[in-house]
Amino acid sequence: MLMYFRSKKRILLFFFLFLFNSSVKAQKANQFNSWWYYSGKYQLSKKINIRTLLSWARHDFAKNWQQSNVRIGGNYVVSKKVNFGVGYEWVVLFPYGEHPVLEKRPEHRIYEQITVKNKLNRISFRSSALLEHRIRKDITRHRLRVRLGMKTPIIRSNDGITKLGVSFFNEFFFNIDKYAGNNVYGQNRFYAGFDIPITTNFILGLGYLNQYISINERRKENNYTLMVGIFHKVDFRNKKLVQVK
């Protein structure tokens, strides 16, 4: 009889564990979004350039707001392969999806970034580490963003000009402040897409981003995202001086 009750207890225990595990898994939201953005690079001198970003992130493909970003930063070219940057970003987070923030939330973000570039034949590699300080109304959070990326042309003209290229990157987000708790690995972004040159200075980016967000131990998001962007380069240097050099 005792063995019978023990067996029943085990069955009930496994049953409740199964229900609990199912409820935890049920907190994972699969959502469809789109991000539209403009990225600018303005060359002021051989060593210094300005970077800008305007981004409109939409939830439910394009129906509702998810996030808006305005960024400006300065980059200093340390060497051919290494550059260092600092900048400021104004971000507004909107309530969206199954795990919304409580209200529309603005953030001031200050960042420092180091980027390392390399090339192997036609493949260009780029890795970066960005330290981000997220200043909110009542709290300041800190996180580290590590990105590993590559791109290569897949169609070129007879004179070597790229007609179509592909880009890939994976970006890891680590919460590194006292509020992180067990949620250190807060987000991951994987991107794959095409680079389509429109002119020498304009490139259209069209691709897919999988954004995984860990809000806490029980609330997760998988955001399947269409990415549409314009990359714009402007050289403000004196052309005559550049040619003389």
Mean pLDDT of 91-112: 95
The pLDDT score that the predictor gives to residue 10 is 57
The pLDDT score that the predictor gives to residue 31 is 96
Q: How far is CA 143 from CA 25, 58, 68, 201, in A?
A: 26, 23, 19, 33
CB atoms within 10 A of CB 2: 6
Q: In whole angstroms, give the CA distance from residue 124 to residue 66.
A: 32
The per-residue pLDDT for range 144-155, each reduced to its tens digit, is 999 999 999 999
Please, what is the average pLDDT of the chain?
A: 89
Residue 16 pLDDT more than 70? no
In terms of Cβ atoms closer than 10 Å to its own Cβ (0-12, 13-18, 19+), residue 165 is buried
Looking at the DSSP bridge assignments, the partners of residue 146 are 129, 172
CB atoms within 10 A of CB 104: 10
Mean pLDDT of 51-73: 97
Confidence at 27, pLDDT banded by 50, 70, 90: confident
Question: Euclidean distance between the first and final Cα of the chain, in Å?
Answer: 94
User: 131 near 147, Cβ under 8 Å?
Assistant: no
Residue 122 pLDDT more than 60? yes
* Nearest by Cα to 42 from 53, 32, 34, 33: 53
* Nearest by Cα to 149 from 128, 173, 174, 122: 128
CB atoms within 10 A of CB 177: 14
Domain region containing 120: 2-244
**Domain count along the chain:** 1
Q: What is the DSSP string of 55-71?
A: EEEEETTTTEEEEEEEE
CB atoms within 10 A of CB 195: 21
Q: In whole angstroms, give the CA distance from residue 191 to residue 187.
A: 13
Q: In whole angstroms, give the CA distance from residue 245 to residue 129.
A: 32
Residue 58 pLDDT more than 80? yes
CATH number at residue 195: 2.40.160.40
Q: In whole angstroms, give the CA distance from residue 47 to residue 199.
A: 24
